[in-house]
Amino acid sequence: MGFGGSSCHATEPCVPNAVIGPCATRMVSGPGCGSGRRWVPIPGPGGAGHWRGAAGSAACCAHPPRDPAGTRGRFVPELAAPAAGTAAPLSPRRWRRARRPQPPSAPPPRPRAPPYRRASPVPALSLLPQLSTPQASPERVPSPEEQQWAGPEALCPGWLEDEAPDGEVPGDSGDPDGATHAYERLQSALCQEGLPPTLDCSAEPRTGFGPLDMTVCILGSPIPFLPVLLEGGTRCPGAMVLCLSPSWASRVPSESCPGAWSLLLSRGVSFKVGGHSALESFVPPRRANYVTGTFAPGDPEGGWVGELARDLDCPTGGSVPLAHRLEDALLARWALAARANLPVPPTLAFVLGTRGDLPALPAAPGVRLVRLQDPQGQQSLVQEEVGAFLGGTAMEPYGQVVVRPAGWRWRGTGARSTHRKEEGAAVAQAVGARLRGLTEEDSVLLEAMVPTARLPVPPPRSPAPRLPMALRICTLVCRSWGDRPQLCQVACAVGRAESPVRHGAALPQGLDSGLQQCGVAAPGQRQALATRLREATEAAAAALLASEAELSPRQRGGDRARTDILGVDFLLACVDEALELVALAANGQRCLETCALAEAMGRGVGEPRGDVPRLLAEAMLHRAQRHLVEGKDILLIGAGGVSKSFVWEAARDYGLRIHLVESDPEHFAAGLVQTFLPYDSREHRRDEEHAERVLELLRSRGLRPHACLSYWDDCVVLAALVCQGLGLRGPAPAAVRVAKQKSRTHRHLQRCRRGRPPPAAFAVPCRRLRSHGDVERAAGAVPFPAVAKLEFGAGGVGVRLVENAGQCHAHAARLWRDLRDDADHPGIGLGWGNAMLLMEYVPGTEHDVDLVVFDGRLLGAWVSDNGPTRVPAFLETAACLPSCLPADRQAQLVRAALQCCRACGLRDGVFNVELKLGPAGPRLLEINPRMGGFYLRDWIREVYGPDLLLAAVLVALGVPPVLPARPAARTHLAGVMCLASEHGDTLAGGGGMEALRELHGRGLVRLNRLFEEPEGAGEYEEPLLSVACAGATLAEACERLLGLCQGLGIDSPRYPVEHFLSHFK
């Protein structure tokens, strides 16, 4: 970057923020500086800002000159070499200490900002009094000779920031906690990303933060988490807050968890859409809902970060004790071998004493543990163990060993020695030398040096010989939805085979490129290795997380402390003439930094943004939202039956206080909720009256719920009316009424003609039937074949295909005779009456679309497929998730469902929409203005992760749920419905039910009960249960399910499961 001439600098007035901090400048000459003059700071009288030209002229001004190089008040070293006889150049460290400006006695006046600028970029150095409590002590200003030192910073801005290894900050009494340095690194990183600098909005404190405002706090260094902060700022503007100093936060005793602490933020850098950030102050202090930070051993911020994050009442993504365990190579290797059953390098470990953090069982394959009481007095035992290890069968494939200390204190020290296996005496001597300083927290490892698999590679373009290479595979895993590990990214590093490849020693590259360099030429083999790597990584993470879950709160650093992000390193080796992934170690932050670097490098060559920031931000925001709902009072209208039993378990897991209004005073859920309010509301044609009674009941009990909703189809209108009476968020009662009455839904949509296509395009001709006269009139308007069903029905009960008006008359007569009120068949909408409708039959495949909508905005959608029905009935037979439709056809269904909901006025909630998809596109069957029932909630959690129940609670609380922006299926599910009439004897008398329960308990099938006992009979029968199998592909899931049904007798000529599954292709 060039510099302008000196004349313009001397004559132009300064501009806002031209100079950061109250420092003086001197203009000196040097090559590449235009006129040969350049402004640099020099001391003024009394330390005040003072400006001079290079020749020492008295050209002083009240304001500093423009700063075209963007140095923001830093001392910029000269490009020219020092003149003969001048002082020797300062070293980078001494220069860094010398370049800090003196505290001014009278800062130069600042020009008034234009009226349209509400905030200005935060000055890095002038923030020092805000970043840390102690003030900077005066330091000697560099002499003119010292200022002429030509250092690398002149060629590479930011070189000094990267000079200190492992984040080391030069000692400075003016920046004891490294906050100023961290802030400067943040600004540098934002600049490199092409983002605007941080704005200072702290003069006007932000107020009004309440118990439903989300705060995800990142403590410590901004660099590892910057992509996550930016992504989180886009997803939830203002929710991600970076805390750079312990003086910005405080700990107060928790009001909800005795013995725990709440973290309150009085200042922080918040992130918003478009990469914008702002330094803000919060009055009153802002309460954190989720906390994480740089807990890795050796980080300069680790001390105060660990102290602030200790024993919090909110979820904490790590802690110092957990980071110590993760960085301990022996503990990690033990879990990887014993719990995940992964191959590890053959290891002989020596520990001191009992070492209680290492369980005696289960045994870890490949790891032998030797417990020493006195290392100096047990030399013979050490030599014997070393000899046995070197001569054992596990060491036969290897020719070299490594001796090194292990434990979090040894992270990054490189203390190790390499020996040939034949050098038994030298190996024993090296082990003995390491044992002399052994502590109870450390161990000494003797491990095989596993070489990277050497495969034949294509002939090189150059005849030069190829050197043997080593490949280290770095994987990053996060704790995803449902506390399940999810692989986020893979990066590889390649180095020389004779020395270990370390993090940061080489630029990362992709897995596919790394495998090709190792000679894995076949694309199918590389894909198979990538799949195996995903499985191994997630198994390793699950093992590590399971081992830490067994720790006490004190050992974890708090009851809510969990490791949410971790890395696992692998080596591609050749074991028994087959390629094998050997697990090496785990870490808390190094893989995160490596993967972030790999992603940044990819963006530099036009690659799209990766998934790491999105996945990590979603995981953090999700845990914060789970904490947000804890302790909230939820009014639930209608308990439902056995199929809704998951509600009570989920409420306990989420910490919800459920207040249940239920018509059955003997309902089994009465003892599972905070408050049970029996009230008979089964006659739903009087729901306005029922709503007033429920409101009186709440006032008499002194209950003031935070949200009100219903999962039970019969009670959705009543819940909307109660919401309206309480002033809570929820769909309008009029909108729920339109959706609840099927014929009214279609008539309303037929009048909605705006849009391309309009909602009317998805409606189906239909007529309401309350008498046989209505049947005759409907027969003239609705073409046959048609579908006759209950107007307010549910569960597919009474739905039938009719070929002509006569069949419609007969079906209506039977239904009006058999199903008159709720007592005849509870739970299918007879509390609204037994009116029917006749609608046109729509050919095509049937699908369910479950939507999460907040303020009319689609937040999440999931499409599932239904199998063919047993015509003329339309009872569900089979289903699969995810849909086997192509993405564009699924998008048609989602868009049609969303437009229909919006047109009906359903703008807030979780809704289930049933559609058919034909050649001409989707057509609506019905809208259920509540969460999808039966198996749908369970399946969506299993396949995609999010919980529809939690999403419904968050929407009812007025909080937009954080859901996967790009949902990816973790597995495929295929299920079949079982009927009491077809399978009752097989399941009950043949032991099929016991077998299904056992398989469900082992995680081999998914069993969802709709009823404890069969409900209805004949044409009014409902499914008894759903049984599903999972697979890596839909074909695999269907094959497993068909085999299970054939083995248990569910498949039969009368109930052909193979036919029901044939549509899922």
- By the 8 A CB rule, do 733 and 720 touch? yes
* Cβ-Cβ contacts under 8 Å for 539 (sequence gap 6 or more): 340, 341, 342
Q: Name the one residue in this structure whose structure tokens are 């437009």.
A: 899
Closest CA to 19 of 73, 77, 62: 73
- The interaxial angle of helices 424-435 and 379-390, nearest 10 deg, is 130
Q: What is the phi/psi pair of residue 853, to 5°?
A: -125, 135
Sheet with 347-352: strands ordered across: 367-372, 347-352, 443-448, 400-406, 417-420
State whether residue 336 is helix, strand or coil.
Answer: helix
The pLDDT score that the predictor gives to residue 703 is 95
CB 421, CB 446: distance < 8 Å: no
CB 220 within 8 A of CB 299: yes
* Comparison of pLDDT for 179 and 999, the residue scoring more: 999
Per cent of the chain over pLDDT 70 is 80
Return d(Cα 167, Cα 323) in angstroms, integer: 17
Q: What is the mean pLDDT of residues 557-569?
A: 94
On the question of pLDDT at 665 being above 70, the answer is yes
pLDDT bucket at 482, cuts 50 / 70 / 90:
confident
Q: Lowest-confidence range among 505-519, 670-684, 1020-1034? A: 505-519
Q: What is the pLDDT of residues 180-206, one digit of tens each?
A: 888 999 999 999 989 999 999 999 999
Radius of gyration in angstroms for the set of CA atoms belonging to the chain, rounded to a whole number:
35
- 239 pLDDT more than 90: yes
Lowest mean pLDDT among 587-601, 768-782, 879-893: 587-601
Instruction: Give the residue-averaged pLDDT of 54-61.
Output: 37
User: What pLDDT is attached to residue 4?
Assistant: 40
Q: Give, to the nearest 10 degrees, the angle between helix 742-750 and helix 887-904.
A: 100
Cβ neighbourhood burial of 605 (10 Å; 0-12, 13-18, 19+): exposed
Tens digits of residue pLDDT in 95-143: 344 334 444 444 444 444 333 333 444 444 334 334 333 333 333 444 4
Tokens of 126: 């002038």
Contact 892, 917 (CB under 8 A): yes
User: Stretch 157-179: mean pLDDT, rounded?
Assistant: 42
677-696: average pLDDT: 95
Half-sphere exposure for 595 (CA within 13 Å, toward CB): 33
Q: Based on the number of CB atoms within 10 Å of its own CB, is 927 exposed (0-12), middle (13-18) or buried (19 or more)?
A: buried
Tell me what pLDDT residue 266 has: 95
Which tens digits make up the pLDDT trace of 872-913? 888 899 999 999 999 999 999 999 999 999 999 999 999 999
SS3 string, 70-131, reads CCCCCCCCCCCCCCCCCCCCCCHHHHHHHCCCCCCCCCCCCCCCCCCCCCEECCCHHHHHHH
- pLDDT, tens digit, for every residue of 787-798? 999 999 988 888
pLDDT of residue 767: 94
CB atoms within 10 A of CB 387: 14
What is the average per-residue pLDDT within 59-66?
A: 38
Mean pLDDT for the chain overall? 82
Residue 53 — very low, low, confident or very high, per pLDDT cuts 50/70/90? very low
Backbone angles phi, psi at 447, to 5 degrees: -135, 155
Report pLDDT for 465.
63
Q: Report the pLDDT value the prediction gives residue 578, as an integer from 0 to 100.
A: 79
Q: How far apart are CA 415 and CA 773, in angstroms?
A: 92
pLDDT in tens, 985-1043: 888 776 888 899 999 999 999 999 887 765 555 678 888 899 999 999 999 999 999 99
Closest by CA position to 327, among listed 143, 95, 591: 591
Over residues 420-442, mean pLDDT: 90
Res 52: pLDDT: 36
pLDDT of residue 72: 38
Average pLDDT, stretch 441-457? 84
Q: Which residues contact 637 (CB under 8 A, 6 or more apart)?
A: 661, 681, 694, 708, 709, 710, 712, 715, 718, 719, 722
At 644 the pLDDT is 87
9 has pLDDT over 80: no
pLDDT of residue 44: 37
Q: Secondary structure of 804-829 in the HEC alphabet?
A: CHHHHHHHHHHHHHHCCCCCCCCCCC
- Res 298: pLDDT: 67
Please state which of the ranges 87-96, 278-287, 399-408, 1050-1059 shows the lowest mean pLDDT: 87-96
pLDDT band at 573 (very low <50, low <70, confident <90, very high): confident
In degrees and rounded to multiples of 5, residue 485 shows phi and psi of -65, 145
Task: Give the separation between CA 391 and CA 92, rounded to whole angstroms.
Answer: 51
Mean pLDDT, range 450-479, rounded to an integer: 76
Using alpha carbons, select from 741, 760, 927, 949 the residue that is nearest to residue 849: 927
Read off the pLDDT of residues 716-757 as tens digits, 9 standing for 90 and up: 999 999 999 999 999 999 999 999 999 999 999 999 998 889
Please tell me which of 77-81, 235-239, 371-375 the model is most confident about, judged by mean pLDDT.
235-239
Average pLDDT over residues 433-452: 88
Task: Please name which of 353, 350, 358 lies closest in space to residue 332, comparing C-alpha atoms.
Answer: 358
Kindly state the DSSP code that residue 650 receives in the 8-state scheme.
H
Burial label for 455, CB within 10 Å (0-12, 13-18, 19+), is middle
Q: 989, exposed or middle or buried, with CB in 10 Å at 0-12, 13-18, 19+?
A: exposed
Task: Work out the pLDDT band at 410, boundaries 50, 70, 90.
Answer: confident
pLDDT value at residue 160: 29
Query: Which pLDDT belongs to residue 497?
Result: 75
pTM of the model: 0.82
Please state the rounded mean pLDDT for residues 580-596. 90
**What are 614-646's pLDDT values in tens digits?**
999 999 999 999 999 999 999 999 998 888 889
Say yes or no to pLDDT of 963 above 80. Answer: yes
The pLDDT-based confidence of 452 (bands split at 50, 70, 90) is confident
Is residue 57 scored above 50 in pLDDT? Answer: no
925-941 tens-digit pLDDT = 999 999 998 899 999 99
Select, from the ranges 371-385, 549-563, 975-989, the one with the highest average predicted confidence (pLDDT).
549-563
Is the predicted pLDDT of residue 41 greater than 50, yes or no?
no
Supply the pLDDT for residue 25: 36
- What pLDDT score was predicted for residue 460? 61
Q: List Cβ neighbours of 854 (8 Å cut-off, separation of 6 or more).
A: 908, 955, 960, 961
3-class DSSP state of 677? strand
In this prediction, residues 645-658 reach a mean pLDDT of 94
List of long-range contacts for 696-701, beta carbons under 8 Å, 24+ apart: 697/661, 698/635, 698/659, 698/726, 701/675, 701/677
Question: How many residues in total does the chain contain?
Answer: 1065
The pLDDT of residue 496 is 78
Report the DSSP beta bridge partners of residue 561: 316
- Which pLDDT score, from 0 to 100, does residue 992 have? 85
pLDDT above 70 (res 87): no
Q: What is the pLDDT of residue 176?
A: 59
Closest to 17 (Cα-Cα) out of 148, 113, 138, 150: 113
The alpha carbon dihedral of 947, 904, 783, 894 has a sign of negative
Are 1010 and 1022 in contact by the 8 Å Cβ rule? The answer is: yes
Strand partners, 802: 786
Q: Given this model, what pLDDT does residue 208 score?
A: 86
